[in-house]
A = this chain, B = another copy of it.
């Protein structure tokens, strides 16, 4: 049964500043849907490695995408413990005190293990979901992958089970006795800007830039 919250476990419960923590499913989904890359952590011979990866959310799972030749993908496909983290920076928090300088952000941390999607039909659908997540509308407007390209691509299913979100928003939290200080305080907002599409130098296709690429934006929850 799907509920509106993930269960907090001892490993995902937000301990530090718990009021910033959330297990709300809609919030977790919104943060994940806005992102383009995640940072994936695995441990190899006692050494953690953290690498950026493309992903998409499908229901209560992440699709992780990479080259079949990649060490990270091979390790993940082997079912080792992993952590997938997605972070959006929303602003620099400028406080009157050095101590209360901070950042506004939204992040999701998911613990679990991945399974490779091997069934050709499911894999093709997963690839379509990944393209749709990255560039909505692009899927039908590109050459589909051939067998060799499908083999060279690994797509992993990473179920969202142990998940928490953490959010900081709003103005600085200065101490009451600092409010009268002469220092400016507030927030410098941060957003990701998507520019006008730049055509490849060897582009021979005539016609306008497809509408889905112009004013490309990612939904802000």
Contact = CB atoms under 8 A, between A and B. Distances in A.
Given A172-B200, A191-B193, A103 B36 contact: yes
Contact of A181 (B71, B81, B186, B205): B205
A82 B171 CA distance: 32
Interface in A77-135: 81-85, 87, 89, 92, 94-99, 101, 103, 105, 107, 109, 111, 127, 131, 134-135
Interface residues of A, number: 95
A41 B183 CA distance: 36
Question: Closest 6 A-B residue pairs measured CB to CB?
Answer: A41-B48, A189-B195, A41-B50, A171-B200, A41-B41, A99-B149
Interface of A: 11, 15-17, 36-37, 39-43, 46-52, 54, 67, 69-71, 81-85, 87, 89, 92, 94-99, 101, 103, 105, 107, 109, 111, 127, 131, 134-135, 138-139, 141-146, 149, 152-153, 171-172, 174, 178-207, 209-210, 213, 216
